Structure formats: structure tokens, C-alpha cells
Structure 1
Amino acid sequence: MSGIGPVEPGEGTHVQEPPAAPPATAAGLRRRRRRALLGAAAALALLAGAGALYTARRAAPEPPPAPPYPAQAVDLVFLNGVTTPPGVPPGGSSFAVALSVESGPPVTVTRLAQPYDGLSLTASPKPPFRTAPHAARKITITLRVTDCGKAPRNPGLPFLDVTLRNSRAIQDQSFLLGPRYARYLDHILQVACGNDSK
């Protein structure tokens, strides 16, 4: 015997043939046909179910993203001091701000206020007013010094309190208007209170 090639039968051995299959009967043929049909039907049902699931998942639209909170969509910027409108009592002065809505649904301003006890504030347009998305609105604010003793002595970072509402939420937000507004407010206080504010 060599180590190469297939094993050859030895002497006195012969190949055994597998037993012959019993002849097919009509009942056996029906059983085989029924099994084949059931297997094919199960495969078709599985494919149809997978196809329907795939179609349903593809056809369902994604829900729209939630609109932004109003404070995330709004910007408030100090423009300048303006000529005080007629009818403003002594100790009052006006300035303009621009409110812009960057995105999302329209935003309604329901309240404008400032944090100092010695000052009062009025706005034109008077709240509530609405601003459309991708638009800006000029607001004229009139401040009036009502009590020099309660007015701020040196307003370093003055802000305005604004209540905003859109279809998602109502939020109170404080907006810092920057150093130009701080200088403007300081000037108003110096003119209104004179030596009292020093």
C-alpha cells in the first residue's frame, strides 16, 4: 500500500449497491406533492410578509421635528436712542430695539419689562404682538425714572425681561443688550437724577 491515491478494495471484497427504493405509490406521491406545495406556500407567505413590512416601514413618513423653543429662535438687539416721542413725562427717554425671529413658527411677545424698581417701561407696539419667522420688528421702548433712590447707580450689564410664546412653549427670557445700551441707560439716569445718582 502506498500513501498516494484512493484506497483500493482488497481481494474478496465487492461493492455493495444501495437498496432500491420501493416503488412509488399513489399515496406517497400525493404526500410528497402536498409537502412541496406546503413548503412553497410557506415560503411565499414569508416573502409576502417581509415585503409588506418593508413597504410599511418605507411608506410611513418621518414625524416633523419639533419647533424650537421661542427663546432659541429670537434675537433682541439694541439699535439706538431715539427722539423721545411727545407726551413722555420728564425723566423719560426712548430707545429702539430690533426683535427678529430666526426660525420656527411665529413668536408672540406677551410682556416686556426691566428689573429696576426705580424705572418704568412702556413699549410700542404694546404687547402682545406677533412676529413672523424670518422677519424682524422694531420696538420703541420708553423708560421713565420714577424714583432716583431705587434706580441703579452703575448699570454694568442691564437687561430686558421678555416673555415669549410660540406653538411649542411660553418662556421668560432675559436679554443683555450690550455695552451701548449700558452707556445709554447710564446717560438717562445721569440726566434724570443729576447729583442723586452719584
Structure 2
Amino acid sequence: MSGGIGPVEPGEGTAGRESHEGPDIGRPAPAAARWARARYARHRRAVLVLGGLTCAAVLAAGAVRLYADRPRPVPYVPPAPSQVVSLSYLEPVEPPPADAAFAFTVRVRNASAGPVAVEGIDQPSRALRVMIRPPLPVTVGAGEAREVVVRILATDCVHVARNSGLPFLEVTLSNGFRKERHSYIPGDRYARDLSVALTRACPEDRDMTDTPPS
């Protein structure tokens, strides 16, 4: 009789042990485990949402602070009218009006970015009176020029200064932010024309009086 080795039979108590080894695949998880996983998922989503909201709130607060701390824009203040307005003497009006000793045209030019109003044109002598055509105020637009006619009336020939060197005109200007009175010197040609006109309107012999002999 020959002997051999046959298949190894499972020993006592081994079949049951082997049947329980390895993962339990395909078997549904218990209800408690599913509930725990669902609860964890909800908690995780809530944490993520809360974190996102917190981050957004921090960013918004930072943006608000940056906006509040930003440098305030400096309000625009235009330059003084006298710094942007020029006055030029053009020529006498010939013949002068009957009631005027002298009449002439001036050009007012505005170099600013906003309008400037010419509210007054005068001269310092009490013996003379000034009239303007067109009547003031006259608004000169930004970058524009306007011409006005100045008429000078001699009201007191006795005290008229026929040769006053470099006479000037006192001009009142306003730009809506500031009003100022500025003196403009029209130049030598104006001084010469004014002297000739006043001498013609108020001859020197008019001021002479006969002194009775003593």
C-alpha cells in the first residue's frame, strides 16, 4: 500500500475563523454610522461656510478701514483772479464822447479754467469819474477775452493831474471763491494819451486867476 499526501483539511475551529477574516465588503453600514457620517459632513460644511464668512468679514473690514484712512482729496481752489486776469490798453476812442474827457478801449483776458467777473473799473483821482460800457459786471469765460470801453469824465479841472507819471486803473475781480481789488498799470502809451486828453479837456489857463494889483 502506498502512502501520499492529500489535501490539507482545515483543522478544528479554523473554518469559522477564516470566514470572518478580511473586510466586510458589501454589507450595509449600521444606521448609527451613517448618521455619524452625515452629522460630520454637515458640521464640516458649516465650519467651511463660517470660515468663508469670517474671512469675507475680515476682508470687508480691512477694505473699510483702508477707505476711511485714505488721504482726503484736497478741494480745488482756483488761483486769485489777479493772477490769471490781464488788462491791456488798446486805443483811444476817436472822437471821444461829448461828455467824456477821454475814452479808450481795454481788453480783459482770463487765463484761468473758470469764469471771472469784472465787477468794477475805477481810477484813484477824485477829480475824475469813470463810466464803463457795457455796464459792469462783465463775465469773462475761461480762456476768453472781453473788450470794454472806459470813459473818463473830468469833474474838477482845478485838481486834475494832467501828467501823473504812470497812472493805473483799479479793477475789482471775482471768481466765485474770492473777490479782490487789483491795480493795473496800462503802460506808457495810456499815460501819454490820458495826459493829452486831460490837457485838452482842462487847459492850464483855465486854472489861472487874475490877481488884482496891490
TM-score after normalising by structure 2: 0.62
SS at match of 1:142: strand
Deviation at 1:48, TM superposition (A): 7.4
Q: Distance in 2 between matches of 1:83 and 1:95?
A: 9
Is residue 2:103 matched to residue 1:94? Answer: yes
Q: Which residue of 1 aligns with 2:122?
A: 113
Q: 1 or 2 for the larger relative contact order (CA 8 Å, sep ≥6)?
A: 1
Counterpart in 1 of 2:80? Answer: 69
Q: Structure 2: where are the runs of 5+ without partners?
A: 1-54, 209-214
What code does the residue aligned with 2:119 have? Answer: T
Question: Among 77, 81, 84, which residue is 2:92 paired with?
Answer: 81
For these two proteins, the number of residue pairs brought into alignment is 155
Q: What is the rounded CA distance, in whole Å, between the counterparts of 1:129 and 1:52 in structure 2?
A: 48
Would the aligned equivalents of 2:81 and 2:116 in 1 still touch at CA under 8 Å? yes
1:158 maps to 2:167: yes
* SS in structure 2 of the partner of residue 97 of structure 1: strand
SS at match of 2:201: helix
Q: What code does the residue aligned with 2:175 have?
A: N
Encode CA deviations 1:29-65: one digit per residue, 9 max, x unaligned.
xxxxxxxxxxxxxxx798876666556667x773343
- Contact 1:68–1:104 under 8 Å retained in 2: no
Give the distance between the partners of 1:163 and 1:66, measured in 2 at CA. 19
| RMSD over aligned Cα atoms | 2.9
Distance (Å, rounded) in 2 between the aligned partners of 1:189 and 1:101 = 30
TM-score norm. by structure 1 comes to 0.66
The residue type equivalent to 2:106 in the other structure is V
Tell me, in whole angstroms, the C-alpha distance in 1 between the residues paired with 2:116 and 2:69.
35
Q: CA deviation digits over 1:118-168, x for unaligned, max 9?
A: 211111111112111100000111112222211114211101111111121
**Structure 1 vs Structure 2: percent identity of aligned residues?**
36
**In 2: Cα distance, 1:187 partner to 1:158 partner:** 13
Question: Amino acid of the residue matched to residue 114 of structure 1?
Answer: Q
Cα distance between partner residues in 2 of 1:120 and 1:55: 59
CA distance in 2, matches of 1:84, 1:108: 29
Q: Paired residue for 2:14?
A: none
Contact 2:115 2:175 in 1 (8 A): yes
Give the Cα separation in 1 of the matches to 2:117 and 2:169. 16
Alignment of 1:20-59 (within 5 A): 53-54=65-66
2:127 & 2:60 partners in 1: Cα distance? 76
